[in-house]
Amino acid sequence: MTQKELLFSALRHEVTERAPWVPFAGVHAGALIGADAIELLTNEDVLVKALLEVNRLYKPDGQPVVFDLQLEAEILGCQLLWAKDGPPSVANHPLADTMTVPCRCTLPKPEDGRLPMVLSAMRRMKEAVGETTALYGLICGPFTLASHLRGNDIFMDMYDDEEYVKDLLGYCADCGKLMSDYFIEAGMDVIAVVDPLVSQISSAHFEEFLTDPFVDLFAHIKKKGAFSSFFVCGDATRNIEVMCITKPDSISVDENVDILASKTITDKYNILIGGNIPLTSIMLHGTQQDNMKYVVDLLAKVKEYKNLIIAPGCDMPYAVPIDNVIGITQAVLQTAEVREMVKNYVSVEDDIDIELPDYAHLTKPLVEVFTLDSATCAACTYMMGAANVAKEYFGDKIDMVEYKFTVKENIARCKKIGVKNLPSIYINGKLKFSSIIPSKEKLEAAINEVL
């Protein structure tokens, strides 16, 4: 079974051998190749290169191709404020001063805005990894799109002119249907309708305004042969049930929602739920250990792998340390081993006597590669691969050793040296490369420095 088939199986609500993993690497994908968010979201080659790096390092079962909720809004007349380390924001609202619904003739066409670039990137990703990885096409949800167009007045409109809100949401849902068609045609397997604002309204308002357009949208996606997902951000706990009633194949929530409590509701409707690794406290500011622990703890609380996806709470911040995502990847792919590692990390005390090399008096350069396990962790495999190439090149002129984190003694060694993240390469006891795999030239240069 390929990774894509595993995810499809989960989306068909079958029991799977492990929980699927869908890293929402939006702008963060750029960080993997040193590109900023503006380059990533406007340059097709940069985008594809970054997404392939996500695929290579994080071994996703499913992966979004573009995470930009402003794509449609830009086409429909909103100006964007661009940032280097985050997705753009909507700077103005074309319907702020006019309570009108635009003509359907204004809806996005494949040649509008950044769509040609996005659709082409989707096709290239499909060609490159589509056999083994499920690809997510993300569209802006009708309510959030309506707020992009109308501004915050949309909330007041819900009291002042219900019919107007319904008409505008109808227009935005039609936009969603068209975008879904384009994305499915470009090879996307899952259409995620991302509507963060859903957490800001009551269930009664959801039922009054959103149930119909969402039911319509998810039925359309199903008819077109793709899976669907309903992404929400913020504390949407109270709305999980009304979201289920709109019949998506899956729902994705962030850390503001108790995912296990919500799973009892989604299970009732046989809908898959995904989430909810905390974006800031764990992914951005936590350690690799924190990230692995969060995932293994979450997985320990479900009795079987059914109707559950492990994913970040939402689009990962640009600067999430790569090490943290690698740790999560490993925790999903090798849950039992990582559970043991985390347990050992906590329990291993300094009483395991590790003798460190006398780094100051080595007879030849010593390259130490610290990995989670180069046999199973993709990033570790590449890191180890880079080290092996160097060893082949330098031969007897250098010593090289791999320390796998699966062995207790190696954990003690990591603690003693102060290794914070895996995989990493130390040369003569000094950290040289952490998580980002060095090129052959860079590694050789680093070794030559101490030869």
Positions touching another protein (CB under 8 A) are 81, 83, 85-86, 89-91, 152, 155-156, 158-159, 200-202, 205, 234-235, 238, 279-281, 284, 317-319
What's the min distance (Å) between Cβ of 39 and another protein? 16
Q: Taking every pair of C-alpha atoms in the chain, what is the biggest distance, in angstroms?
A: 81
Name the E strands within 338-420.
366-371, 399-404
Answer yes or no: are the C-beta atoms of 93 and 151 closer than 8 Å.
yes
Residue number, 106 or 200, with CB nearest to another protein: 200
What's the min distance (Å) between Cβ of 141 and another protein? 16
Q: What is the dihedral of CA 411, 415, 418, 420, to 10 degrees?
A: 50
Residues counted in the chain:
451
Residue number, 165 or 298, with CB nearest to another protein: 165
Residue number, 62 or 234, with CB nearest to another protein: 234
What's the min distance (Å) between Cβ of 37 and another protein? 9
Residue number, 86 or 110, with CB nearest to another protein: 86
Residue number, 20 or 234, with CB nearest to another protein: 234
Closest C-alpha among 261, 255, 299, 258 to residue 280? 255
Spatial neighbors of 205 by CB under 8 A, at least 6 apart, are 158
User: What is the secondary structure of 240-255 as a DSSP string?
Assistant: HHHHHHT--SEEE--T
Residue 201 CB neighbours (<10 A): 18
User: Reduced to 3 DSSP states, what percent helix, strand and coil does the chain have, rounded to the nearest 5?
Assistant: 50, 15, 35
Residue 224 CB neighbours (<10 A): 15
Residue number, 151 or 187, with CB nearest to another protein: 151
Residue number, 42 or 92, with CB nearest to another protein: 92
Answer yes or no: are the C-beta atoms of 29 and 316 closer than 8 Å.
no
* 9, containing H or E segment: helix 3-11
What's the min distance (Å) between Cβ of 142 and another protein? 16
What's the min distance (Å) between Cβ of 164 and another protein? 14
Distance separating alpha carbons of residues 132 and 113, to the nearest angstrom: 30
Answer yes or no: are the C-beta atoms of 27 and 87 closer than 8 Å.
yes
What's the min distance (Å) between Cβ of 396 and another protein? 48
Tokens read off for 300: 């320990």
CA distances from 285 to 128, 310, 411 (A): 33, 19, 22
Residue number, 132 or 237, with CB nearest to another protein: 237
What's the min distance (Å) between Cβ of 279 and another protein? 7
What's the min distance (Å) between Cβ of 143 and another protein? 11
Distance separating alpha carbons of residues 380 and 58, to the nearest angstrom: 11
What's the min distance (Å) between Cβ of 233 and another protein? 8
Kindly tell me the number of DSSP H helices and DSSP E strands found in the chain: 19, 13
Residue number, 147 or 371, with CB nearest to another protein: 147
Residue number, 187 or 313, with CB nearest to another protein: 313
What's the min distance (Å) between Cβ of 242 and another protein? 13
Q: Cα-flanking dihedrals φ and ψ of residue 193, to 5°? A: -95, 110
Q: Tell me: cis bond preceding 60? Omega within 30 of 0 counts.
A: no
Residue number, 124 or 205, with CB nearest to another protein: 205
Handedness of CA 32, 36, 40, 43 (dihedral sign): negative
What's the min distance (Å) between Cβ of 155 and another protein? 4
